[in-house]
Amino acid sequence: MRTIVRSRAPLRVSFGGGGTDVPPYTDNHGGCVLSTTIDRATYCTIAPRADDHIRVRSLDLDVLADFTKGEHFQYDGKLDLAKVVLNHFPLDRGVDILLHSDAPPGSGLGSSSSLIVALITALAEWKGVSMGPQETAELAVRMERKELGIPGGLQDQYSAAFGGFNWIEFNKDENLVMPLRLPRSIREELEYRSILVYVGRTRLSANILNEQIAETAKATGTVVEALHETKQIAHEMRRAILKSDWDRWGELLHQGWVHKKKFSSKMTDAHIDALYDAARKAGASGGKLLGAGGGGFLYLWCPADHKQDVVRELRAQGGEPVGFAIDMEGARAWRVKEK
């Protein structure tokens, strides 16, 4: 018998405020995000080996790398997310590490940050290190944004570590997660009226974010003003959902998407715009492209009596709409005994 460790970190859907969690906007103005984790996740499995090799395999990238215990891993673009966590949690024996996700890379569901949280959670469990969600999220941010220098926001690491439906505030000195204890009826109505549709390709988020970051460094300008508006809309969305004001929720989603398109010239394209416009004509009242933009999943909000019309139209356009359920749990790890 051997004991393996497995971990799960949820993916998320961000409804409002996305983009205001990206430095330097957070440092200069403070940001906020309204989001929920969903019933899709990233996973990490650690299994002992009989030798000193550390073998890391990513099913999503179809990449396999072989290292030796005690090795300090160099970042070269190949499985760097795994390497940065392994450098923090050095192993004294050989293991197999298996990584995979319920969503493709670049999906806009926060899969990269969720994966690094899953890795931290699994390796902490493997080494017997106790870590709470705040510590896990802060470590994930430092690894991904500082040590690896990957541009991006801060919400995904906190969403994956804490789980649930959250209002998250970002400032220069601290980031605060405030769970919204929504009644089950509100969560279920949100699930019922929501649609996700994959636009058919992944995005190069770094290119989009670099443009946004460069513009945000300016004191004023179109991008900064759009981010200010996005932050205000997020505050209004929080009030709308607490009141179950679904008509206002749809209006605010649409307004948010209008402003988000100003963040970068690469945010959207003719295919994405056509799909969104077709959904709106079929009855969707609002929506947005998730993540940094350029591809991935499009989120749509539908009045109950028009949802099936939107589904039919999306399928006619070549899309495959899917739903999701809200997951109220954050990252967790468990041990399994197997032969």
b (16+ CB within 10 A) / e for 318-332: ebebeebebbbebbe
CB neighbour list of residue 53: distance below 8 Å, 6 or more residues apart: 66, 67, 68, 69, 94
Dihedral (CA of 139, 107, 63, 56) sign: positive
- Cα dist. 33→191, 232, 235 in Å? 19, 10, 9
314 near 330, Cβ under 8 Å? no
Q: Which of 156, 245, 277, 305 is the catalytic position?
A: 156
Selection from 60, 44, 12, 38 nearest residue 125 by Cα: 44
Surface-to-core class of residue 51, CB atoms within 10 Å of its CB (0-12 exposed, 13-18 middle, 19+ buried): exposed
66 is catalytic: no
**Active site amino acids:** 156
